[in-house]
Structure 1
């Protein structure tokens, strides 16, 4: 089980790099700014847990750091979950694995934002969905490929 977790963690890291690269590429190509929802989530979660982020400017900087860290944790966590899943279901066809991992990472990344009331996928439109789907598909492809490569 340790190998599955380790390999899943490494695969999740590869997927997280792919997701971030595709997101930043989209920002560069379309000239759009970054999403503020991760930082908003960090602020809400800090408030709900009683975590003091400090005074105004310091709190904003901490949210800017915590928000992306939450995304990285989701990416690494989905990678570990995939490693454990692959250990239990070793013969799952790769295309199905890519779809399952893609769905899992979209839920891991978006469900907290929806639950906190920061976004509503029903209001995203085509452009919003593409901005979300493409990086998550990249995560999924990279995670599955990395896991398969290191688990041989």
Structure 2
């Protein structure tokens, strides 16, 4: 990058003072400052976009790597399962000795998601807020009683006159 020292900046300022004149120099300096600021913001925005795209590419590479690893693990497990099934089927055991034969191994296992086993919870935020302990509400600053601004001012106004 271009290196400007104090002596070079002073020389540029003196030439600008002679060429532009002392009346218009502050306005021109402000305009140049604004333009330089816009240019710096634009360069920073372009750099952030480039960094984002690089990070996105890295994440995509990582995702494909993880997916490949998951596929290889799945294939290994299936291969081992098939070997175990063939070993069980070829060991001379009859269907009466084992509850599963080689053909229907795993057919009785039902894959249901964990959230499908229970009914959906009722979504009532008032019950949820009411279930929060009072000490927690006081600690976190949750308002329990709503007051208008005028009522709040009247409540905390110092008393006037002798009582």
> What TM-score does the superposition give when structure 1 sets the normalisation length?
0.29
Which structure has the bigger radius of gyration?
2
Q: Which has the higher contact order (CA 8 A, sep 6+)?
A: 1
> What TM-score does the superposition give when structure 2 sets the normalisation length?
0.27
